């Protein structure tokens, strides 16, 4: 007999919720009356292979050796991105999560308050060139891919202009477009993950980088 693992159970529950969300979107065809407002589900928190630490940290090694877990940056973060880790190995050390907001390009607050040198002070200009992670696309969740919705949420809001929308049918310019991430440009700010309408999990999630690095100068930020 096939046993249901915890992982399998949660995954199938998630798939069910996705179907419900899709049904909500489909309901439009039955629209007979006006007004009202649809329920909104907050985005889920994805499991990351590698957690993300803020720009200015340099990378995981610098960050984890210097951070004293004082929570000053967590308090200072105006976008609610930084929060203490739940991982016992990094207890109290902050990490980034994007369900409440994303690491906005004009903000350098965490570096300004860090007393331990775990997050270096950087300028907003510098920040735009630091890779802290890269976005990964999950086709099975993306509404552009699964439902053919003309969704441009991630590409529209990417501060690094790292997401290109490409038609799935080479011969038809108007066929549904799916997002393609240019990892040379993606800095890992989490805008796409934060604004992705897919539920229960965003179809774009950020994976952290072990060592932060700089965007190549010639890639030139267009925005």
Partner 1 sequence: MNRRSFFAALVNPQPAPDAPAMTMRTGAHGERVSLLGYGAMRYPTVDGSHANNFRGGSNAPIDLALVQRQIDYCIEHGVNYFDTSPAYCRGESEKVLGDALAKHPRDKWFVATKLSNFNPKVWSHEASKKMYETSLRLLHTDHIDFYLLHSIGGGGKDSMKVFNGRFIDNGMLDFLLKEREAGRIRNLGFSFHGDEKVFRHALAMHDKVHWDFIQIQLNWVDWHHAKEVNPRNVNAETLYKLLDERGIPAVIMEPLLGGRLAKVNERVMRKLVPLDPAATPAQWSFRFAGTFPRVLTVLSGMTYLEHVVDNVKTYSPLKPLGEREFAALERAAAAFLSDDSIPCTACNYCMPCPYGIDIPGIFGYWETALADDALPDDPTDPSYAEKRRRFLLGYEQFLERLRRAERCTGCGRCKPHCPQAIDIPAMLRKVDRFIEKLRRNGRA
Peptide bond into 76 cis (omega under 30): no
Burial 93-118 (b: 16+ CB within 10 A, else e): bbbbbbbebbbbbebbbbbebbeebb
In the complex, least distance from residue 192 CB atom to partner 1, rounded to whole angstroms:
12
Q: What is the DSSP string of 132-160?
A: EEEEEE-TTT-HHHHT-----HHHHH-TT
- Quick one: which of 6, 31, 86, 222 contacts partner 1 (CB under 8 A)? 31
Considering only residues 36, 88, 217, 220, which one is a binding residue for partner 1 as defined by CB under 8 A? 36
CA angle (187 as vertex; 82, 42 as ends), nearest 5: 50
What is the rounded CA–CA span in Å between residue 94 and residue 63? 9
Contacts with partner 1 by CB under 8 A: the residue count is 32
Out of 2, 3, 5, 28, the only residue in the binding site for partner 1 (CB under 8 A) is 28
Interface with partner 1, residue 217, by CB under 8 A: no
Q: What is the dihedral of CA 75, 79, 84, 85, to 10 degrees?
A: -170
Restricting to residues 126-185, which ones interact with partner 1 according to CB under 8 A? 143, 149-153, 156-157
Site string (175-204) toward partner 1, x via CB under 8 A: --------------------x-x-------
In the complex, what is the shortest distance from the CB of residue 88 to partner 1, in angstroms, rounded to a whole number? 31
> Would you tell me which residues interact with partner 1 (CB under 8 A)?
24-25, 27-40, 42, 100, 104-106, 124, 143, 149-153, 156-157, 195, 197
């Amino acid at each position: 007999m096939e046993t249901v693992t915890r992982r399998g159970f949660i995954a199938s529950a998630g798939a069910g919720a996705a179907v419900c969300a899709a049904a909500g979107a489909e309901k439009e065809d039955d629209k007979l009356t006006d007004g009202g407002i649809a329920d909104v589900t907050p985005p889920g928190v994805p499991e990351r292979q590698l957690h993300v630490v803020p720009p200015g940290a340099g990378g995981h090694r610098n960050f984890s050796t210097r951070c004293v877990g004082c929570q000053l940056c967590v308090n200072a973060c105006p976008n609610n991105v930084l929060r203490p880790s739940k991982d016992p190995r990094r207890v109290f050390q902050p990490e980034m999560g994007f369900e409440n907001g994303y690491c906005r390009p004009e903000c350098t607050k965490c570096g300004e308050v860090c007393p331990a040198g775990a997050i270096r002070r950087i300028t907003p200009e510098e920040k735009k060139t630091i890779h802290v992670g890269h976005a990964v696309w999950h086709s099975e969740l993306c509404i552009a891919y699964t439902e053919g919705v003309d969704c441009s949420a991630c590409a529209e809001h990417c501060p690094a202009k790292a997401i290109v929308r490409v038609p799935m049918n080479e011969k038809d310019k108007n066929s549904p477009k799916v997002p393609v991430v240019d990892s040379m440009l993606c800095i890992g700010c989490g805008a796409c993950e934060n604004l992705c309408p897919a539920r229960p999990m965003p179809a774009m999630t950020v994976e952290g980088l072990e060592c932060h690095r700089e965007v190549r100068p010639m890639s030139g930020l267009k925005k």
